Amino acid sequence: MNLVNGKVINSEECERVLENIDEMLISTLRKTPLDVEKVIHACDCMVQNAEQLDIIKKLPELGISPVLTSMYIGQVKSMLGADAIKRRLKIELGENYNKPQELVYAHSGAKAAQTLAPLGVLFHITAGNVDGLPFISLLDGLFTGNINIVKLPKQEGGITVSLLLELFKIAPELQEYVYVFDYSSKDLHAMRKLAKVANAIVVWGGDEAVSAVRRLAEPNTKIIEWGHKISFAYVTKSGAKNTTLLEKLAMNICLTNQLFCSSCQGIFIDTDNMDEVYKFCEEFLAILERISAVHPFAFDEAAMIFIKAGATLQFYHERIERSENKVFKGNDCSVTACRDSKLEPSMQYRNVWVKPLNRDDIINLRGYKNYLQTAALICSDDEYTELAEKLIRAGIIKVSDGFEMSSYALGEGHDGEFTLRCYTRVVSVQN
């Protein structure tokens, strides 16, 4: 679905927009800057009645489980109320972000006013792994006063356009600040054109998507990369006895199906002994199976065929390879014990790996550099600080319990950065 100036348009009209996009952007940029207060007000009004929005009612049809739907509504409400947005702006951009700061040139005594300004035009190339991501990404662009061009991922389900139309009902003046296109990333002509008119490209996705954007962008275009990350859990001997914490981890695995960057792909055990790893696998499988039964897959039958066949083929492949990995297979989930300590993606869809990683070797994870994101730390209280520090030193961005791995707290950094700061620049004007 394509949306320009608040109107849903077809692909022919899109071509015309693409031809004239330079002039359209310039015409908006000529006007007084976007009043961010209006964006905040519109969001605030919209979330008051979030449950009543058509698109929210349709979420179950898009394969999103009821538990996740109510979690999303809760999160959206807590994130997009006026007070929440203002607080976030202060956390990310600084307490006095909207007040100019006085600078003095020491040698002459001349003064200047320094403040934050939008980057100008952002081109968001979004990914399909997180529901509603394009909308969230472009809102961050609006909170910082930017014009936003959004390339939707495949099979987005119309969530972004529906939410935008609601937003525009409240604040029609925002319409010219948002362009949504469903061009394929293979449409290089369109992609290049949109990249060319943007001050910065915001890219969400895996290594391939990031590399493609690096090739696409001209040297004078800033690239803001939200690349794929890998998250995991770290469990100590005392953590392995804590069923409540392990259930929270199983919740993350089942509710996200391990599709997010912040989802748990696997579990490192604080040991060098494989027998302990095997014992943990057996115990954790029982927990995972129990939680999986409470939160069954919400995909349709066809998707389930591919998900199940993928896991079956992988297990068969390992059997042929005489892999030393030991698979503990449950109903709709599995736990695989591996001898190595490599950090790697899982097969996803409730199939986790378990590997030994002695606490003294946590630092070895630093080799994965920018791929590292969240670690769920499951241990006793007296171990927590020491291990959290070790994980952060190795390069982990966020340490939490299993349940909060994929949650967002207001003002929390994203992949080690403040998003809103990335979408602004610091400017100064001599008085």
Partner 1 sequence: MADRRKLFFTNDTYNHAKTDTLFVLAMKENVSFHTKHCPQYKRILSDFNFDISSVNTVEDLYKIPPLPASYLKNHTMLSKPYNKLIVKTTSSGTGGKKTLSGFDTGSGLCAMSMLLKIFKYNKLLSLRRTNYIILGYKPDKSNQTAMAKALKWVSVLAPPVKIEYALKIKNGEYNIDVDGIMDAIVKFSKQNKPVRIIGFPAYFKMFLEELNERNIKIHLHKNSKILLGGGWKSMFAEAISKDELFEMANAALGIQRRNFKDQFSTAEHPTPYIACENHRFHIPAFSRVIVRDIDSLSPVGEGVPGILNLISPLLTSMPYGSILTDDIVIKKNDCGCGNPAPYFEIMGRVGLANVKTCTQAASDFLKKI
Residues that bind partner 1 (CB under 8 A): 154, 184-186, 188, 212, 302, 305-306, 308-310, 312-314, 316-317, 319-322, 345
- Residue number, 293 or 313, with CB nearest to partner 1: 313
Distance CA 251, CA 402 (A): 8
- Identify the DSSP state of 95: T
| 8 Å CB contact between 46 and 167 | yes
Phi, psi for residue 157 in degrees, rounded to 5: 85, 5
**Residue 152 per-residue DSSP state:** P
> Between residues 94 and 310, which has the closer beta carbon with respect to partner 1?
310
Minimum distance from CB of 183 to partner 1 (Å)?
A: 12
In the complex, what is the shortest distance from the CB of residue 333 to partner 1, in angstroms, rounded to a whole number?
A: 13
Closest alpha carbon to 164 in 205, 118, 109, 124: 124
Nearer to partner 1, 115 or 323 (CB): 323
Residue recorded with tokens 């804590």? 242
Residue closer to partner 1 (CB basis): 48 or 312: 312
A 10 A CB-CB count for 49 gives 10
Which residue in 219, 290, 220, 278 sits closest to 254, CA to CA?
A: 290
Min dist CB 210 to partner 1, Å, is: 15
**For residue 235, which phi and psi values (nearest 5 degrees)?**
-125, 125
- What's the rounded Cα separation, in Å, for the pair 381 and 378? 9
Query: Which residue's CB is nearer to partner 1, number 308 or number 342?
Result: 308
Q: How far apart are CA 406 and CA 421, in angstroms?
A: 22
Least Å distance, CB 67 to partner 1, is 25
Least distance CB 290 / partner 1 (angstroms): 20
Residue with tokens 């998250």: 231
Going along 197-325, which residue ranges are E strands? 200-205, 222-227, 230-235, 264-269
The smaller minimum CB distance to partner 1, of residues 98 and 314, is found at: 314
- What's the min distance (Å) between Cβ of 302 and partner 1? 7
We find the least distance from the C-beta atom of residue 345 to partner 1, in angstroms, to be 7
Quick one: 80 or 216, whose CB is closer to partner 1?
A: 216
